[in-house]
Amino acid sequence: MAVRRGQKELSKDLLDKYGSVALRPVTNASQSIQVYFRILIAQVISFNEKEQRITINGWRKLQWLDQFLAWDKDMYGGINQLEVTPDKIWLPDIKLYENIDKDFQSEDKVNALVSSDGMVTWYTPMVISSSCKINVRYFPFDVQTCTLTFGSWAYTIDSLNINYSDDATQNVFLNNGVWDLRKINLERNVVKYACCPFPFSFVQVDLFLERRYEFYVFNMVVPCVMLSAINALVFLVPPESGEKISFSVANLLASILFQQLIGELMPPLGDEIPLLGMFFLYMVGMSCVALGASVLILRMFHRLGEKPVPRWLKRMFLRRDSVSLSFKRASVAVKKTRSNRHSSNGDDGYRRGSNLSMTVIKENVNDVNSKDPDEASFPLHPKNDVNSTAKLSIHCQGFNDDYESESAMLKREIIRQEWMTVARKLDKSLGALVAGSTLLVIILIFLLFLFRG
């Protein structure tokens, strides 16, 4: 038998008698073609989390037996391998089921390698765009799982059976600064659809992509925790300072603004609310609570003393030492008010009026003692000195008025001091409650992140 040397002659002989590329290259039509699939992920080009879309650059390998491309290598000078253009031979229609690219699948039409026994190996670089369901519950410490399903679009398992080969490692992955490829799982599945009598076989590729969280920790998590701690500092501002409301409003506006800025960086909610988003909501809620509590506390602190403190508030915040302290503060306040009033009227005049009153009282007492017992009575007796009686009545009335006025003032001042004491203690209690709840929420979220599995 003559030997035909050269790859051109071999290629011409094989392709001239190959036939239609649409027909499966088997001599027995009932025989199923075994296709071996492998993919290497080279790079995550983009990961649009809002659109739940991922674009990947990878290298694909398909291998199958083409019975129409086998030859006797001894007849062609020992040639054991030949390159063939892919549009000249039959190719398995392995497609990505989750594809969302308008071109369906972008792959370079590189030549296929054919061995003398008819085994075809086709290496193709490819760029695929796939849908990827996002789970952002543990953002930014999340691991996203993107499932890529590769299988035949037209052939059932009786005509084409796909399997995967794991003869290579994924050490070609190029990090993109945001996502790291943790691992890849490949699994072969068979599913029967209602359209066809035979099931379809496909290979499921699960990509586990881990987010790099350093950027988000320093730009989102740490400022958020620090801003939430300021909510407790609102209750440390004294009510008499006059800056409590402005500080509360400024903190609330800062929380809302921070949440809006971070919301642009965060991915969509998906099926679950992210824990970090829940903490943002808690932070804004605590800012609102701090503002409302500040208004209530200032309302109590600046009461004028017309309405007494309710009993249930006294039981909660007022004890004996608090009541005693309120009485002392009220006495001091009344003394200051009286001294200011006396100083405005003249201390000498007040002392002279007091001395004159005491003199009149003493004179009337002496007159009563010097008279007969029958005529003896209080200095208001008609037979007593009219002028002295009038003077005594005027000064006694003045003392009664002063006493009643100072008693009412002291009572109102005691009530006002009680309201101030209640406001201060309520301020401290709410501050401790907000600080404790914030710390508890931070610890709880930290534990959920730590044991997220």
Kindly report, residue by residue over 417-437, the tens digit of the pLDDT: 888 888 888 989 998 999 999
Residue 1 belongs to a domain: no
Residue 360 has pLDDT above 50, yes or no: no
Instruction: Give the SS3 label for residue 222.
Output: helix
Residue 321 belongs to a domain: yes
Residue 91 has pLDDT above 90, yes or no: yes
Q: Within this chain, do residues 24 and 103 fall inside the same structural domain, yes or no?
A: yes
Q: Within this chain, do residues 183 and 125 fall inside the same structural domain, yes or no?
A: yes
Of the candidates 87, 94, 70, the residue with the CA atom closest to the CA atom of residue 160: 94
Q: Read off the pLDDT band of 175 (50, 70, 90).
A: confident
Residue 449 has pLDDT above 90, yes or no: no
Q: Which of 252, 274, 302 is the last residue of a domain?
A: 302
Residue 359 has pLDDT above 50, yes or no: no
Instruction: Give the SS3 label for residue 219.
Output: helix
Residue 275 has pLDDT above 60, yes or no: yes
Q: Within this chain, do residues 70 and 109 fall inside the same structural domain, yes or no?
A: yes
Q: Within this chain, do residues 283 and 318 fall inside the same structural domain, yes or no?
A: no
- Between CA 111 and CA 84 the distance in angstroms is 5
Q: What is the pLDDT of residue 55?
A: 92
Q: What is the pLDDT of residue 372?
A: 42
Averaged pLDDT for residues 326-348? 54
Q: Read off the pLDDT band of 4 (50, 70, 90).
A: low
Averaged pLDDT for residues 58-86? 90
Mean of the per-residue pLDDT values of the chain: 78
Q: Within this chain, do residues 276 and 409 fall inside the same structural domain, yes or no?
A: no
Q: What is the DSSP letter of 69?
A: G
Q: Within this chain, do residues 184 and 328 fall inside the same structural domain, yes or no?
A: no
Averaged pLDDT for residues 175-189? 87
Averaged pLDDT for residues 56-82? 90
Q: Which of 189, 212, 235 is the last residue of a domain?
A: 212
What confidence tens digit (pLDDT) does each residue in 127-151 have? Answer: 889 999 888 888 888 899 999 999 9
Q: Quick one: tokens of 254?
A: 């800062």
Q: Quick one: tokens of 11?
A: 């290629």
Residue 155 belongs to a domain: yes
Residue 2 belongs to a domain: no
Q: Within this chain, do residues 151 and 247 fall inside the same structural domain, yes or no?
A: no
pTM for the whole thing?
Answer: 0.69
Q: Within this chain, do residues 282 and 197 fall inside the same structural domain, yes or no?
A: no
Q: Within this chain, do residues 200 and 245 fall inside the same structural domain, yes or no?
A: no
Q: Within this chain, do residues 105 and 25 fall inside the same structural domain, yes or no?
A: yes
**Contact predicate 142/449, CB 8 Å:** no
Residues in the chain: 453
Domain of residue 79 covers 7-212
Question: Structurally, how many domains does the chain consist of?
Answer: 3
326: left (phi over 0), alpha (psi -120 to 50) or beta: alpha
Q: Which of 233, 268, 302 is the last residue of a domain?
A: 302
Q: Read off the pLDDT band of 354 (50, 70, 90).
A: very low
Angle at Cα 90 formed by Cα 87 and Cα 96, nearest 5°? 90
Share above pLDDT 90 across residues of the chain, in percent, rounded to a whole number: 23
Q: Within this chain, do residues 76 and 181 fall inside the same structural domain, yes or no?
A: yes
Residue 281 belongs to a domain: yes
Residue 51 belongs to a domain: yes
Q: What is the pLDDT of residue 103?
A: 66
Using alpha carbons, list the distances in angstroms from residue 102 to 43, 127, 130: 21, 12, 11
Q: Looking at residue 61, which CATH number applies to its domain?
A: 2.70.170.10
- Between CA 126 and CA 42 the distance in angstroms is 10
Q: Within this chain, do residues 125 and 141 fall inside the same structural domain, yes or no?
A: yes
* Of residues 106 and 38, more confidently modeled: 38
- Between CA 230 and CA 304 the distance in angstroms is 31
